Amino acid sequence: MNTVQKENVPLTVLVIEDHPDQRDLLAIVLQREGYRVITAANGVEALERLETEKVQIALSDIMMPKMDGFELIKRIRSNPTLKNIYLILITARIQEGDRVRGLDLGADDYITKPFSFSELLARIRVGSRVVQYQQHLEYQTQVDSLTGLFNRRAFEKKIQEEFERSKRYRNPLSLLILDIDNFKMINDTYGHHGGDAALVKISETFREKTRQSDFPSRYGGEEFVLVLPETDQDSALQVAGKIHEAIRSCAFGTTARPFTLTVSIGVSSTSARFYTDWRELLDDADRALYLAKNSGKDRIEIWEPEKRTGQIQTSVHP
């Protein structure tokens, strides 16, 4: 995911219904309307599906075996990663108390059996509008307006998620911190407009040299960070080398006033040492960057407390 993008894909609806015929019929109706549909037979199965699927709307019966709709609402609303799902309860009960209970627990809407498909689809469309507006707000809070990359807030959320996933599945996770060398001189010489143009061009290099699964962000000022899931230290150093060389070979500025830039990069990886917290991984990448800056800039370093060995060293400056 190289930039923050508004998703132009069908919303995913999770249908939770213990009667197979009704479950299949609901799925067919929703699919015909262009929704992506996944199904579950009860609350327990629904939670399992939610672990692996990104769902925007859930349509759940109340009376189900193993876990009813009320308990499912509690579980979803108590999970930070699921709490924004739009929940619609389906109930054959006409008691007002059941409807009130469901809404109080966190359901967004309800529909009472028997119902027409036109009414159901109208309620789904309401949920879709709410979800899309939430996505728009989330987009606004995650994007860096200058570069189009993710911002620091989005990075910190992502690195936490990937760190936990790395621990759970025992896959390597690597992190790069990149800082533009002598950036103040660029601003002083070419003005802030020239500096901003350089930041935009560097962000484009990030997009060109990273995979779809990587997570590049603007950390602040002239610093960028890159989360590399399922990437060990050696592979991370290769990525850093490609970015480093690509930026060095770029022409910045205008035809009349061209200039070049170099960057310093710090690298850390869970494949190199054991970390108990994502902040430790970030701290080591930051220490490696500091070492690169203090060792002449325009280089890549990994933080090794005992060896302090630089991986790439050059002497080219803008």
Nearest to 66 by CA among 100, 84, 87, 43: 43
What pLDDT is stored for residue 81 in this prediction? Answer: 85
Helix axes 96-105, 69-77, angle to 10 degrees: 20
**In the structure encoding, which two tokens stand for residue 4, read together?**
């923050």
Average pLDDT along the chain, 318 residues, taken 10 residues at a time: 57 94 96 96 93 93 86 91 92 75 90 92 96 88 94 96 94 98 94 94 93 95 97 97 95 89 97 94 97 96 68 38
Domain ranges of the chain: 12-142, 152-313
Nearest to 177 by CA among 262, 287, 277, 272: 287
Q: Which CATH number fits domain 12-142: 3.40.50.150, 1.10.10.10, 3.40.50.720, 3.40.50.2300?
A: 3.40.50.2300
What pLDDT is stored for residue 55 in this prediction? Answer: 96
Q: How many helices (H) and strands (E) does the chain have?
A: 9, 13
What pLDDT is stored for residue 220 in this prediction? Answer: 93
How far apart (Å, rounded) are the C-alpha atoms in residues 240 and 225? 11
What pLDDT is stored for residue 93 in this prediction? Answer: 64
222 in active site: yes
With residue 210 as reference, give the H or E element that holds it. Answer: none
Q: What is the DSSP string of 93-126?
A: ---HHHHHHHHHHT-SEEEESS--HHHHHHHHHH
The pTM score is 0.70
- Fold observed for domain 152-313: Alpha-Beta Plaits (3.30.70)
Q: Are 40 and 16 in contact (CB under 8 A)?
A: yes
What pLDDT is stored for residue 2 in this prediction? Answer: 54
How far apart (Å, rounded) are the C-alpha atoms in residues 178 and 285? 9
Distances (CA, A) of 286 to 89, 156, 165, 202, 266: 48, 14, 22, 19, 6
Q: Half-sphere exposure of 109 toward its Cβ, with a 13 Å CA cutoff? A: 18
Residue of 17, 162, 222, 301 marked catalytic: 222
